[in-house]
Amino acid sequence: MSRKRSSLIGLIVIMMASVVTGQVPLEIRAASAVETAGWRHMRTPGDRASVWVSPTSQLSSADIARAEVRTLANGDPAVAVVFTDDGARKIAALSDAQMSKPIAILLDGRLVWAPIVRSTIGKEALLSGGPGGLTPAEIQRLLASFKMR
């Protein structure tokens, strides 16, 4: 087997292992609809939202106990997330601090969604994607990024 081919196979194995173990980079951070010094300006796919994102990650895939696809009453797909006990404390604190403001959900360092916090988030959350919903690709990326138990 060529060295190039075995390197490629090794890379694929490492990537698949990172998905299975929940190591694909998922981050949840504070965000702002107005320019904030030291925060990065980002846009969601399709330019649905423009926000400034905190440089500090408050939650990661390690804070997710499990996630699954659900169907909303209107027939749109969503992702139901159950946080670990530590993750539930973190998301509650973040959602309280960000009340009526956005939080940023990043996958692989890219902003995929910036929902506005409308109430304190507890042990469970339902990610619907807001207006326009989540695409099948976004759902699969979210599920792959969450630490499955």
Residue 91 is predicted with a pLDDT of 96
Q: What is the DSSP letter of 34?
A: S
CB 105 within 8 A of CB 134: no
Domains, the chain, with CATH or none: 3-145 (3.30.1360.200)
What tens digit of pLDDT does each residue of 49-107 get?
799 999 999 999 889 898 889 888 888 888 888 999 999 999 999 999 999 999 998 88
> Model pTM greater than 0.85?
no
**Residue 81, beta-bridge partner list:** 67, 125
| Residue 123 C-beta-side C-alpha neighbours within 13 Å | 2
- Is the pLDDT confidence value at 112 over 90? no
- Is the pLDDT confidence value at 19 over 50? no
What tens digit of pLDDT does each residue of 122-145 get?
999 888 776 677 788 878 877 776
Residue 113, H or E segment: strand 110-113
Residue 15 is predicted with a pLDDT of 37
Mention every residue, 6+ apart, whose C-beta is less than 8 A from residue 50. Answer: 33, 41, 42, 43
In a 3-state reduction of DSSP, which class is residue 102?
Answer: strand
Average pLDDT over residues 11-39: 68
Residue 57 is predicted with a pLDDT of 94
- Is the pLDDT confidence value at 26 over 90? no
Residue 129 is predicted with a pLDDT of 73
Residue 146 is predicted with a pLDDT of 66
